[in-house]
Amino acid sequence: DFLFFWGAVFLVTTTLVALLKKENKELTPTKEETKGITDTYKLLFSIIKMPAVLTFCLLILTAKVGFSAADAVTGLKLVEEGVPKEHLALLAVPMVPLQIILPLIISKYTAGPQPLNTFYKAMPFRLLLGLEFAFLVWWTPKVRHEGGFPVYYYAVVLLSYALHQITLYSMYVAIMAFNAKVSDPLIGGTYMTLLNTVSNLGGNWPSTVALWLVDPLTVKECAGAQEQTCGTAVAAEV
């Protein structure tokens, strides 16, 4: 119902924009170069072949490997240990004001000549939070009782999520600020989109690999069938 409602809202609003919004008749001169698709991709390849850009892309493609498992798997493991999905979803609500305020605060520190300093400083804390998330998953079944989970458990989860958001947004805003700073104004949109796309990819591929490795790396024991192994999904089903 939620997805259907907002899907309908998107369809209606975009249709109204298409029908009612008119382009400006007077063309405003712009400094940015406008190119065709072929020329734009040629430009992208010429940008990415630059030694400094290539090195930077390799760095941001691998920078998030260290906390990909904690980011991608923690919520799923909490649900697996019995934490209701709707409770975890409710914990995301207090994060919304934090997500709005954090970029405003962090942008003060990334506005200088070296915005990546914030990125570097946040990384060790985010790595440590990965260990804290692992402890949280280990601790979850120990505090569970028949009625569910105590209030203090949800307080710890909420605090953990809040600290994680601080480190996440510190890195996110810093990398965005750096991309905006180094992008050539003449081709700013193309340049910045390339760097931001690589940055997003650097966060997505490690999470995908981490999720794929969950089953092979999970140790399972079969209760009541000692000769059976539960290493694979098929064996566990048997």
Whole-number pLDDT of residue 77:
92
Whole-number pLDDT of residue 27:
62
- CB burial readout 14-52, b (16+ within 10 A) else e: eeeeeeeeeeeeeeeeeeeeeeeeeebeebbeebeeeee
From 42, 186, 170, 27, select the one nearest 106 (Cα to Cα): 170
Name the token pair of 52. 């400094």
Whole-number pLDDT of residue 234:
77
The C-alpha atoms of residue 196 and residue 24 are separated, in whole angstroms, by: 29
From 178, 149, 222, 167, select the one nearest 57 (Cα to Cα): 178
Count Cβ atoms below 10 Å from residue 181 Cβ, excluding itself: 15
* Alpha-carbon separation of residue 32 from 29, 45, 62, 208 (angstroms): 9, 18, 31, 36
Query: Which residues, at least 6 apart from 40, have a Cβ–Cβ distance to it below 8 Å?
Result: 190
CB-based contact 81:137 (threshold 8 Å):
yes
pTM of this structure: 0.77
Whole-number pLDDT of residue 188:
65
Could you list the pLDDT tens digit for every one of the 238 residues in the chain?
999 999 999 999 999 999 998 877 766 555 555 567 787 788 888 888 889 989 999 999 999 999 999 999 999 999 988 899 999 889 888 888 988 999 889 988 888 888 899 999 999 999 999 999 999 999 999 998 887 889 999 999 999 999 999 999 999 999 999 988 888 777 767 888 888 999 999 999 999 999 999 888 887 777 777 777 776 777 777 7
The C-alpha atoms of residue 160 and residue 64 are separated, in whole angstroms, by: 19
Paired with 92 in beta bridges are none
Count Cβ atoms below 10 Å from residue 231 Cβ, excluding itself: 14
Whole-number pLDDT of residue 30:
56
Name the token pair of 59. 């760095």
Rg of the chain over all Cα atoms, to the nearest angstrom:
23
Whole-number pLDDT of residue 238:
77
Whole-number pLDDT of residue 33:
56
